[in-house]
A = this chain, B = another copy of it.
Amino acid sequence: MYPMPDPAGRSLDRKGVLDEINKFVVAALAIGLTSTAMGQVIGKAEDQIRWRQSAYHTMAWSMGRIKANVEGTYSKDQVIEAANVILAIVNSKMGALYQPNTNTGKGWKETRVKPEFFADRETPGKVAQGLGKEGNEMAKVAATGDLAAIKVQFGKLGEACKACHDKFRKEE
């Protein structure tokens, strides 16, 4: 078996390489990624907090738009526009905006993330995957124009948002 160099200059055998990959994947899931690929890290802590607050509020606007359509006058285009915004954001690997030094601090306002989000090695990845799944499904269903199915999927997407809020967001 050939030893492989790692970035820290150590030599690793195959078992060592697999262990490193495993640690990497666990770390990726722990910061809430929807995929095992690492997201791209840019910005200072306060930028990351402001950007994630912005992305959630952009999704909240979009959820409000879908709600107005399913409860009031339905427009296929409006639901598609809003669902596509949510789709792009849930697929943007915004877990990268949860670097360890963003556990406290101020973006637009103090972050509401709970310490458990950074301590829990499993649940953040799971809730993020849930949001990814329902966000992708929402865009598919929106494109069909089937209002009854849109209502059902909108409910599921709302539950996926709530799953994270209940566990990891402080009350205001």
Contact = CB atoms under 8 A, between A and B. Distances in A.
Interface of A: 37, 40, 42-43, 47, 50-51, 53-58, 60-62, 64-65, 68-69, 75, 77-78, 81-82, 84-85, 87-89, 91-93, 97, 108-109
Given A87-B88, A92-B82, A92-B85, A51 B57 contact: yes
A61 B94 CA distance: 10
A54 B43 contact: no
Given A87-B88, A92-B81, A43 B58 contact: no
A55 to B, nearest CB: 5
B87 A68 contact: no
A50 B57 contact: yes
B85 A61 contact: no
A58 B51 contact: yes
A61 B68 contact: no
Given A54-B56, A54-B58, 5 more contacts: A37-B77, A40-B68, A53-B54, A81-B92, A84-B92
A51 to B, nearest CB: 4
A61 B65 contact: no
30 contacts: A37-B77, A40-B65, A40-B68, A40-B69, A40-B78, A40-B81, A42-B64, A42-B65, A43-B61, A50-B57, A51-B57, A51-B58, A54-B57, A54-B58, A54-B61, A55-B58, A55-B61, A58-B58, A58-B89, A61-B97, A62-B92, A81-B92, A84-B88, A84-B91, A84-B92, A87-B88, A88-B88, A88-B89, A108-B108, A108-B109
